[in-house]
Amino acid sequence: MNNYETQDNVEKTTAQSPYLYSRKSDNQQTTISLGSKVLGSEKVLFLAGPCSVESKQQMIDIAYELKEMGVTALRGGAYKPRTSPYSFQGHGEKALEWLAEVREKTGLAIVTEIMDPHLVPLFEQYVDVLQIGSRNMQNFVLLKSVGKSKLPVLLKRGMSSTIQEFLLASEYVLSQGNPNVILCERGIRTFENATRNTFDINAIPVLREKTHLPILADPSHGTGNSKYVLAVSRGAVAAGADGLLIEVHASPEEALSDGDQSITPQEFRKLVEEIGSIAHAVNRTI
Range 220-249, binding a copy of itself (CB under 8 A): 222-225, 227-228, 230-232, 234-240
Under rule CB under 8 A, which residues in 140-169 are in contact with a copy of itself? 140-142, 144, 159-160, 162-165, 168
Assign 155 to helix, strand or coil. strand
**Which amino acid type is present at position 116?**
D
The binding track of 39-68 with respect to a copy of itself, each residue x by CB under 8 A or -, is ------------------------------
Smallest CA-to-CA distance from 98 within 76, 65, 81, 114 is with 76
Helix (H) or strand (E) holding 98: helix 93-106
Helix (H, G, I), strand (E, B) or coil at 34: strand
Spatial contact of 246 and 239, defined as CB atoms under 8 Å apart: no
Residue type, 72: T
Q: Site residues for a copy of itself, window 92-151 (CB under 8 A)?
A: 115-118, 135-136, 138-142, 144
Q: 148 with 173: CB under 8 angstroms?
A: no
Q: How many angstroms separate the CA atoms of 170 and 3, rounded?
A: 18
Q: Which amino acid is at 259?
A: G
User: Which residue, 81 or 179, has its beta carbon nearer to a copy of itself?
Assistant: 81
Query: From the CB of 96, what's the least distance to a copy of itself, in Å?
Result: 16
In whole angstroms, the minimum distance from the beta carbon of 107 to a copy of itself comes to 30
- Minimum separation from the CB atom of position 19 to a copy of itself (A): 9
Which of 62, 201, 246, 286 touches a copy of itself (CB under 8 A)?
201
Task: Count interface residues toward a copy of itself (CB under 8 A).
Answer: 85
Pick left, alpha or beta for residue 195 (phi over 0 → left; psi -120 to 50 → alpha; otherwise beta): beta
Instruction: Compute the least distance from the CB of residue 102 to a copy of itself, in Å.
Output: 24
Of residues 42, 107, 281, 285, which one binds a copy of itself by CB under 8 A? 281
Closest by CA to 101, choosing from 121, 71, 74, 129, is: 74
**Pairing of the two strands 32-34 and 243-247:** unpaired
CB of 8 to a copy of itself, least distance (A): 9
Q: Binding a copy of itself by CB under 8 A: which of 34, 73, 278, 286?
A: 278
> Does 179 contact a copy of itself by CB under 8 A?
no
